[in-house]
């Protein structure tokens, strides 16, 4: 699972890194982002990337807790996610994410960064939903997969982290083959740094 993350880039840095036009008025870097916070996501419309605000967590009609994560192994099978996988993919930028290691009653918080990479795109899905007043807003979820060897020391899940090359393919709306898209559901193979905080 991925339940907290960080994004310290300024908006002009995000625009350059993701070759995107900004539609998120009021964006600011955040040391720690929580579920239900409004976050920047990268989507593609008319062959152009845009930074849009989205609430982290899809509405969950079976539980009060929002769906902040989708399992990569079954994302093409679950009714909640399978159409989004085909039609509404996004990138969720992050500079690190957080996880907790549980040992008995003790929980230790870890900051997880990628080695030699300042910012990365997590694979996400989004949809348009109505807010409490009935106005349309974007909501999103982060796709997760089994942890790599280093990450498994503290938790068994981690976000699906895309390479720069795969980011462009992931955002390509013309790709609608779920089997091809499932190829992106891979554990991150690069180095990561775990820092207890």
Which among 2, 90, 96, 140 is annotated as catalytic?
A: 2
C-alpha span between 39 and 52 (Å, rounded)? 8
Q: Give kind and range of the element (H or E) at residue 170.
A: helix 164-171
Cα 34-37-41 angle, rounded to 5 deg: 105
Nearest to 88 by CA among 74, 98, 101, 75: 75
Residues 6 or more apart in contact with residue 147 via CB below 8 angstroms:
155, 156, 157, 158, 187
Which among 52, 90, 96, 99 is annotated as catalytic?
A: 99
| Catalytic-residue membership of 99 | yes
| Catalytic-residue membership of 2 | yes
Residue positions annotated with a catalytic role: 2, 99
């Amino acid at each position: 699972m991925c339940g907290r993350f960080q994004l310290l880039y300024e908006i002009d840095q995000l625009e350059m890194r993701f070759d995107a036009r900004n539609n998120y008025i009021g964006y600011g870097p955040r040391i720690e982002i929580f579920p239900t916070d409004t976050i920047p996501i990268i989507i593609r419309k008319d062959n152009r990337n845009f930074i849009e605000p989205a609430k982290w967590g899809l509405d969950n009609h079976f539980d009060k807790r929002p769906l902040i994560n989708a399992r990569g192994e079954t994302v093409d099978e679950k009714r909640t996610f399978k159409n989004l996988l085909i039609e509404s993919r996004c990138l969720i930028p992050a500079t690190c994410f957080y996880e907790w290691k549980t040992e008995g009653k003790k929980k230790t918080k870890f900051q997880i960064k990628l080695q030699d990479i300042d910012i990365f795109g997590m694979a996400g899905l989004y949809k348009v939903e109505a807010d409490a007043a009935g106005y349309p807003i974007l909501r999103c979820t982060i796709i997760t997969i089994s942890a790599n060897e280093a990450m498994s020391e503290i938790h068994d899940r981690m976000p699906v982290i895309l390479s720069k090359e795969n980011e462009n393919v992931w955002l390509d709306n013309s790709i609608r083959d779920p089997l091809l898209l499932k190829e992106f559901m891979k554990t991150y193979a690069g180095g990561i740094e775990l820092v207890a905080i």
